[in-house]
Structure 1
């Protein structure tokens, strides 16, 4: 469907675009100040927009409550080159945004987060493309100041097509506050890992710890049995690390009976016991 250049929708409330090929500065987007939901899906390379342009457009949508940005491609190093040419100068506040979804390269999200304030954000979904490495330093800073993204429980689950981190505000909660998936065939941290790939490389301990470091308030950690070996290695502190440096408020670690029978988590449990902050292993 081709919209005329003069098309306007000043009273539009919900807009979902899929595989669209219109510029981010289109009047369709610049004249929708009352919009509540904006979802940009399967964004093709031909419709790529730099972070400055995106921030400028959504700043004109003060009523926005749901924002989805889902790219359909990833070219390593592309966003970095764009930012070298045009550094982000804009900082905006979306006073009513409650749900943010993002799919793309970690560099794209890392470029956006320092320049946007989301005081009412309640739900964050993140899906990173295949990358050799992931940078999430700004995501960590963003989460540390997001008052409504509170979480006491996280789960690390292995699915047929992915490994996913889910964070919940309390036990029994049906709605998560945070979902993170990272895709990688060859790379360190693998949340969406293709089982059939013959080139799989084990997750890197440093990046596991960096990701787990996002969850400073977590009290209960659920671990899928197939992730026990990797997570137990990541949780065990080295001689230079404090036992409470990672997940300092953790009280319970839940994993299957067979997974815990090989005592994989004993070094971590012992280190926390000696530090005076014990963690109990429970078997669901």
Structure 2
């Protein structure tokens, strides 16, 4: 269909279509690029399959708001996706149901550049992400905050995250356990991450019991980033991680971060002494690691307040 006729057709479909189930509109010519816009008044309450290629979607589009039975959705130009769940009172029955729910509806977003998620971990456990080889991450930053754990993953030489996850979780041991479990499932996606940062905001009134993390959980988390060349540890985690980089029998877990070249820590310079045995063991194993003390300690912020939504060059394809 010529571009001019396609424009006329789009303008004409400005009402409700109560029995419409399939809607596929594709600008094969590419003349209009992303200038095509569906009428705000278009509605199809029984729509099940929707494919739009070459369109710019308006926020609050009635077509998407009313198509509650949508089974297949293809948005090839979508670049930013945010998912937020917020409930004042946790519902264990709903969480249990979600954790056993299989996702059978595939959503393809081939042009997605940024993905954000916020909610309790149960929702994330049923979210499966599969990426193509074009998606590349170079750095990852973990912020273990009061009441939440935030993870930002960044492309090469880009300061704006390409993937952000913010999960409500109070205690440090729970936060690390979640992060280790989630990133182990998706370790292939993050196999090329070269720069890893771990930050923690301590809280004096939190239970010491829940602030102590089993070393195996830290090892499990670090194992998802086996290609990391640099590791930065904030003051709040230096003592704990220095202990976890060695075992009770003084044998060091050299399989953890096998490509590590530089370990940076912040806080008191004397706290770095705890890493000495790890550094020495790496040297003896023929893979030397440089220990660096950093005096810069930036205040931690909540992810969704600190970040702005802008596009980045993260890659070409994310399927959820």
Is the structural similarity TM-score above 0.5?
Answer: yes
1:56 positional shift:
4.5
Match of 1:61 in 2: 75
Q: Secondary structure at the match of 1:97?
A: coil
> How far apart are the structure 1 equivalents of 2:204 and 2:94?
28
Instruction: Tell me, yes or no, if the aligned pair for 1:68 and 1:100 is still in contact at 8 Å.
Output: yes
> How far apart are the structure 1 equivalents of 2:58 and 2:164?
15
Match of 1:101 in 2: 116
TM-score w.r.t. the length of structure 2 is: 0.54
Match of 1:171 in 2: none
Instruction: Tell me, yes or no, if the aligned pair for 1:97 and 1:120 is still in contact at 8 Å.
Output: no
Instruction: Tell me, yes or no, if the aligned pair for 2:47 and 2:70 is still in contact at 8 Å.
Output: no
Query: How many residues end up aligned between the 2 structures?
Result: 214
Larger deviation, residues 235-244 vs 245-254: 235-244
Match of 1:202 in 2: 211
Match of 1:11 in 2: 37
> How far apart are the structure 2 equivalents of 1:96 and 1:156?
30
Instruction: Tell me, yes or no, if the aligned pair for 1:225 and 1:259 is still in contact at 8 Å.
Output: no
Structure 1 residues 130 and 250: alpha-carbon distance in aligned structure 2, compared to 1, 3 A threshold: same
Instruction: Tell me, yes or no, if the aligned pair for 1:56 and 1:90 is still in contact at 8 Å.
Output: yes
Structure 1 residues 92 and 264: alpha-carbon distance in aligned structure 2, compared to 1, 3 A threshold: same
1:249 positional shift:
0.9
> How far apart are the structure 1 equivalents of 2:58 and 2:283?
48
1:226 positional shift:
2.5
> How far apart are the structure 2 equivalents of 1:156 and 1:222?
6
Structure 1 residues 77 and 268: alpha-carbon distance in aligned structure 2, compared to 1, 3 A threshold: farther
> Could you give the per-residue CA deviations for residues 186-243 of structure 1, whole angstroms, max 9, x where no partner exists?
xxxxxxx6x2534352241222222222322211112222321111122224669873
Structure 1 residues 208 and 38: alpha-carbon distance in aligned structure 2, compared to 1, 3 A threshold: farther
**Aligned-residue CA RMSD (Å):** 4.0
The 5-angstrom pairing of residues 158-197 of structure 1 reads 158=200, 162=201, 195=203, 197=205
Match of 2:290 in 1: 280
> How far apart are the structure 1 equivalents of 2:230 and 2:265?
11
Match of 2:167 in 1: 128
Instruction: Show structure 1 runs of 5+ residues with no match.
Output: 13-24, 40-52, 163-192
TM-score w.r.t. the length of structure 1 is: 0.59
> Could you give the per-residue CA deviations for residues 159-206 of structure 1, whole angstroms, max 9, x where no partner exists?
xxx4xxxxxxxxxxxxxxxxxxxxxxxxxxxxxx6x253435224122
Instruction: Tell me, yes or no, if the aligned pair for 1:55 and 1:90 is still in contact at 8 Å.
Output: no
Larger radius of gyration: 2
Which structure has the higher relative contact order (CA within 8 Å, separation 6+)? 2
> How far apart are the structure 2 equivalents of 1:113 and 1:140?
13
Instruction: Show structure 2 runs of 5+ residues with no match.
Output: 1-14, 18-35, 39-43, 61-67, 137-154, 156-161, 295-320
Instruction: Tell me, yes or no, if the aligned pair for 2:84 and 2:119 is still in contact at 8 Å.
Output: yes
